[in-house]
Chains A and B, each alone.
Chain A
């Protein structure tokens, strides 16, 4: 029974993964990832990680993917043009090295001589992977990572708000996240990459660059 479930979930996960990579429309990629996550949750259950499986479904597939859906809807996400601009050589090389990576990982893990690889694992008590166990560990042995993770979430939330906020008008001057004394003392754009490559000498009138449509119109 376990084996059957494993194969079903496993094939589902791999299929989802391939779907994410191969599908042109980004929206469909998101959906493929959602299915992949659900299959992965099933695999977690097989491995006696109940809490993690639940967290995966609720947090990952529930919250993170919903965020993805929102963004894809907002941004638009057209069908991607075919063929990488960097040349098709990139595809071939990626495939080769990808395959090499897979082989190495398999060799590393499976051929590593770990005795328990071929078994079902050390016998574990019935409460293995239950929320009680995870919870108590989080509050005792792993208290610091737990707190740091919450701090990280806070930073990420604030960062997301800062990055995405709108600043009055399409012709806004490029804003700076922080003003420092150096901005008063030195000329604008000093020390930037743009200055380094000789791109900017004065304040630009508009920082907006053309979309490909407008670039085609101008040339």
Chain B
């Protein structure tokens, strides 16, 4: 398969993930969509690594995975804390930044 196809798939997944972040109300699902975006970026990285026959992209992808794991950990910790305090698990309810 030509590398271009993989890049197209990556772009598609990224867009779907972005649309999900913008549209969904539950922070859990927003985090999932963020994962989608990160994975799409990983795919692009791997594709380019293959294109240049260079391992740098793969290493980068591994590190991205590590970071994604950390971010999920912290994000879920925040959601658990919110649940603990009986706050509604809904991003639209949190409007204290309203000017």
Binding site for B on A (CB under 8 A): 2-3, 6, 10, 13-14, 17-18, 20-21, 26, 29-30, 33, 36-37, 40, 43-44, 46-49, 51-52, 55-56, 59-60, 63-64, 67-68, 71-72, 74-77, 80-81, 84-86, 90-91, 94-95, 97-99, 101-102, 105-106, 109-110, 114, 116-125, 128-129, 133-134, 137-138, 142, 145-146, 149, 152-153, 155-157, 159-164, 166, 193-194, 197, 207-212
Contact = CB atoms under 8 A, between A and B. Distances in A.
Chain B interface, DSSP helix/strand/loop, else mixed:
helix
Contacts of B51: 114, 116-117, 121-122
Interface string B67-89: 11111111011111101111111
A67 B72 contact: yes
29 contacts: A17-B12, A17-B16, A18-B16, A20-B32, A26-B29, A43-B46, A44-B43, A44-B46, A47-B47, A49-B61, A52-B62, A60-B65, A74-B83, A76-B89, A80-B24, A98-B15, A102-B11, A105-B14, A106-B7, A106-B11, A119-B2, A121-B3, A124-B53, A129-B55, A134-B55, A163-B78, A209-B85, A211-B87, A211-B88
Contacts of A90: 22-23
Contacts of B87: 209, 211
A117 B2 contact: yes
A86 B92 contact: yes
Nearest to A170: B86
Interface residues of B, number: 75
Contacts of B55: 128-129, 133-134, 137
Residue of A48, A49, A84, A86 with most chain B CB atoms under a 10 A cut-off: A49
Contacts of A153: 66, 69-70
A193 B92 contact: no
Contact of B39 (A36, A95, A146, A207): A36
Contacts of B89: 75-77
Contacts of A122: 51-53
Contacts of A29: 28-29, 32
